[in-house]
Amino acid sequence: MKQNEFVKVVAAPDALQHPLYRLVETAVRAAGLRNSLIGTKEEVLAAAAKQNAKNRHFVTPTDGKAHYTDHLIQRQYHCVEINTDIRRRDKAVLFVFGGGMIIGSDAGDIGLSRRIAKEAGADVWFPYYPLCHAHDMLENVQMIYECYSGMLQFYAPENIVFLGFSSGAALILDLVTYINEQRDNGRQIPMPGLLIPISPGSIPVNDTERARMHRLESRDIMIPASYMEIAGEIMRHGRDIPEKYTATAHGDFRNAPMTHFYYGSAETLYAFAPSYAASYRRAKAKCVFHIGKGMHHCFAMQYFIPGCKPAFDEVMGLICRHFGRKGR
């Protein structure tokens, strides 16, 4: 990637020297977790539906470890606000989960949201956006947009951080494009204070992106390149969706706040990092790419994997420093 006044590339903490990391990597590869994303569109959707039926749906948390408020978005979707203090704070994180737009959130995401809230000293808003089994990508973006609009009733925009992983990272980047589109149409919605997309994907639109994907996928333990080829059809859901919302790396990033991308150099979706960098340069928006040498998809959010916690701590430190807190 070319660096200039807008784009910077730095190393992220990796886990390659941790004695247990290679064992975990080998176990994940042996388990064949990425196999559920291999096949025809119908086969991939059927596998995801089977997984969702087990335990991936909205349930109001009842663990008593935080205060939870369920905000009903567009009269049908849920967004859980997690407060670890006795009252709402003046800072918040909009945290968006991943799953290729077809796999729902599990109970662990609420636990992760609670951890983020405690470490960042902020409220966390966690949206259960509609999946692309019955919805298109633009509907997802519009739902997240309404969540953010609701947050602006309680927090100054500069005190809101967008954080997402995998397809959730793509969604927060699509949200920047959508905010710009709304602004162009006269609806003045401010940008948040900071963006942190972890391993965002995109639909390939040219041979260069496809070649990068196929070079990387032999090293990827989670995401096959073939899924990114059918994901566009899944995310359009038979509708005429503007390409900028599926080929997210080619979105409209004018006015974007400082953005910290995280990628592992051994993940298929790292293929889109140069395209995101080029789009940010064109928009004259500043970003930093944190690259974990030899690391896998979304490693920076997986603090529970041996050796990955330093990268997670670094992400939390970025949020804390943005909020003016003494963090990691």
pTM: 0.96
Domain boundaries, the chain: 7-322
Q: What is the DSSP string of 271-297?
A: GGHHHHHHHHHHHT--EEEEEETT--T
Q: What is the DSSP string of 207-225?
A: HHHHHHHHHHGGG-SS--H
Q: Which pLDDT tens digits describe the chain residue by residue (328 residues)?
A: 888 899 999 999 999 999 899 999 999 988 888 888 999 999 999 999 998 998 777 888 888 899 999 999 999 999 999 999 989 999 999 999 999 999 999 888 999 999 999 999 999 999 999 999 989 999 999 999 999 999 999 999 999 999 999 999 999 999 999 999 999 999 989 999 999 999 999 999 999 999 999 999 999 999 999 999 999 999 998 899 999 999 999 999 999 999 999 999 999 999 999 999 999 999 999 999 999 999 999 999 999 999 999 999 999 999 999 999 754 4
Topology of the domain covering 7-322 = Rossmann fold (3.40.50)
d(CA 134, CA 123): 30
CA distances to 41, 284, 292, 315 from 310, in Å: 37, 30, 11, 9
State the greatest distance between any 2 C-alpha atoms of the chain, in Å, as a whole number: 55
Beta bridge partners of 13: none
Phi/psi for 176 (5° steps) reads: -65, -45
Cβ(292)–Cβ(261) below 8 Å: no
CA distances to 6, 64, 65, 83, 165 from 86, in Å: 40, 12, 12, 7, 28
